[in-house]
Amino acid sequence: MVDQICINKALLDGAKEVFETMVFMDIAEATEPDQKIEGWALLSSITFKGPFEGCLAVCCNVDCAKAIAEGMLALNLEEVGEEETCDAMGEIANMVMGSVKARLQNEIGNVEVSIPSVVSGRSLQNNLGDGSVKLLTRINIQNEYIAELSLLYRESRN
């Protein structure tokens, strides 16, 4: 079985690379484990399949998602609408997945990745069912927002 610490590091490092390079925002692992995402949230997830299958997701509240869109697109907050916000969240998940995949290629082999999907609501979370591993990392974005990075996976059943 793949080392979970190694995967967790890849997830965090991958997210840092994406946020710093494409969104111009600093992220760090949240120091308080009980920090939660409050209010209406967006969950952007992307699935993968290969020797391992699962999904990676980025979840944050709407204000955080709008700030991400603002950073990615170099827009003012007033210019950031629902479409831009969802699009930006989709791209974040897509790029974090790409970054994680590149870091773990030797451990998990080549995986095919889906198109990201974005949903909104409260208390959002992904579930892969029995026999899967769930890694959840809370991150602090710009010392202002909380987001959750999750990676659920299991060995392929094919």
Partner 1 sequence: MANSLMIVDDSATMRKIIMRTVRMSGLEFDRTEEAGNGEEALEKLGAEPVKLILCDINMPEMGGPELVRKIRQMPSCENTKIIMVSTESSQEIIDSSIADGANGFITKPFTPEQFQQELAPLLN
Q: Are 64 and 23 in contact (CB under 8 A)?
A: no
Whole-angstrom Cα distance, residue 103 to residue 6?
10
Taking CB under 8 A as the rule, does residue 158 contact partner 1? no
For partner 1, the closer of residues 91 and 148 by Cβ is: 91
Taking the complex as a whole, the smallest distance from the CB of residue 38 to partner 1 amounts, in Å, to 26
Binder to partner 1 among 94, 141, 145, 151 (CB under 8 A)?
94
For 64, phi then psi, to 5°, come to: -65, -45
Whole-angstrom Cα distance, residue 153 to residue 47?
10
Query: Measured at the alpha carbon of residue 65, what is the angle toward residues 83 and 136, in degrees to the nearest 5?
Result: 125
Taking CB under 8 A as the rule, does residue 87 contact partner 1? yes
β-pairing, 145-155 vs 41-49, is unpaired
Binder to partner 1 among 84, 132, 136, 142 (CB under 8 A)?
84
Taking CB under 8 A as the rule, does residue 90 contact partner 1? yes
Whole-angstrom Cα distance, residue 84 to residue 69?
6
Taking CB under 8 A as the rule, does residue 150 contact partner 1? no
Residue 135 token pair? 């890694």
**Stated length of the chain:** 158
Taking CB under 8 A as the rule, does residue 72 contact partner 1? yes
Which residues make beta-bridge pairs with 48? 54, 113
* Region from 30-38, 52-60, 109-117, 137-145 binding partner 1, contact rule CB under 8 A: 109-117
* Region from 27-35, 81-89, 118-126, 131-139 binding partner 1, contact rule CB under 8 A: 81-89
* Region from 4-12, 52-60, 102-110, 133-141 binding partner 1, contact rule CB under 8 A: 102-110
Taking the complex as a whole, the smallest distance from the CB of residue 113 to partner 1 amounts, in Å, to 7
